[in-house]
A = this chain, B = another copy of it.
Amino acid sequence: MCRWAAYLGSPIYLEDVICRPGHSLVRQSQGATRCHTPVNADGFGLAWYGERPEPGLYRDVMPAWSDSNLRSLTATLRSHLFLAHVRASTGSATSRNNCHPFVVGRWSFMHNGQFGGYEDYRRHAEALIPDDLYCHRKGATDSEALFLMALGEGLETDPAAAMAAATAKFEALARQRGSAPHVRLTAAFSDGQRLYALRYASDEHAPSLFHRWSDTRGGRAVVSEPLESDEPGWQEIPAQSFCVFEGAEVAINPFRPDRQRTAA
C-alpha cells in the first residue's frame, strides 16, 4: 500500500499539499493512519504540469521526509495540476523505475493498492502491454503495467472505459493465477487538462479516497487521506467510483470492471 495526493486548480506551490499541511503527504510517509502500512518510505515521486504538455517528473528512492531536493522543489515549483506519491513496496525493489508517478507523453499515472499474487502472473500482465508501449516498461511493478495496459486500451480517448478494461483484465488474471484479494486499488492520472481518479476493489476493502475543494486556494485536492485531520469539507469517494475533475467540477460515476468482465 502507498499514499498519494493530487491537486487541480489555481497554481499553488507544491509544498502546500506535499509538505506543509498537518497531515501532508510527507507526514503520511512516516505515519499514515488509514492503511495497514503506516510507513511509506520506499521511494516517492511527483509529476507536475507547467508550460509544456509533458509533465515534469521527479522520483527518488529515499524516504520523502529526508530528501532535501524534494523540500526545495516543492517550495519552488508552482503548478495548477500535479500528482505526488509515497511508496510502500508490496514486493518489488526500491528503485526509481518502480516509483510512481509513471509518465508516458503527456500522461501521468499513480496507484495505490494490491493485486493478490501479482508475482505469479507478472509475465501474463506484461504480455498485455502493446508492442508500441513496451519501451515504456522500465520497472517491475503491477502499477506501471496497469498504466501501460490502460494506455493500450485507449486511455487517451475514453479514460473510464480504458481503465475498466485494463482493471478487468488484471482482475481476471488475479482470479486465474493469483490470490485474494484480487484487486484493491485507487489511482489518479491526468493528461494535463483533467484529473481522473478511481476507487475500486473486488472485495469489501477498497483503499480510502477523499477530495476537497478549497475556496482559499481555488483548487481541489484528491488524496488517500485528508491533509488535515480535523478539517471540514473532506468528502469520501465511494468504492467502485470513477471520478473526473475539471476546473471546479466533479463527476463521479460507477466503475464496475467486474461486470464488464462477466459480460465479456
Contact = CB atoms under 8 A, between A and B. Distances in A.
Interface stretch (A92-100, A154-162, A236-244): A92-100
B62 A58 contact: no
A42 B56 contact: no
A131 interface: yes
Interface string A113-134: 0000001001100110101001
A197 to B, nearest CB: 23
A114 B167 CA distance: 37
Contacts of A39: 30, 39, 41
A30 B61 CA distance: 16
B61 A62 contact: yes
Nearest to A103: B72
A96 B72 CA distance: 13
A260 interface: no
A122 B134 contact: yes
Interface string A134-152: 1101111000000000000
**Chain A interface bracket (under 10, 10 to 19, 20 to 34, 35 or more):** 35 or more
Contacts of A96: 68-69, 93, 95
Given A95-B95, A97-B95, A76 B55 contact: yes
A51 B12 CA distance: 12
Number of copies: 4
A165 B212 CA distance: 55
B69 A59 contact: yes
A57 interface: yes
Given A66-B94, A134-B123, A72 B58 contact: yes
Contacts of A30: 39
A93 B140 contact: no
B52 A76 contact: yes
A127 B139 CA distance: 16
Interface in A44-99: 48, 50-52, 54-63, 66-69, 72-73, 75-78, 89, 93-97
**Considering the complex of A and B, which 7 residue pairs feature the smallest CB-CB distances, nearest first?**
A56-B76, A66-B94, A57-B72, A95-B95, A123-B134, A58-B69, A41-B41
Interface of A: 30, 39, 41-42, 48, 50-52, 54-63, 66-69, 72-73, 75-78, 89, 93-97, 119, 122-123, 126-127, 129, 131, 134-135, 137-140
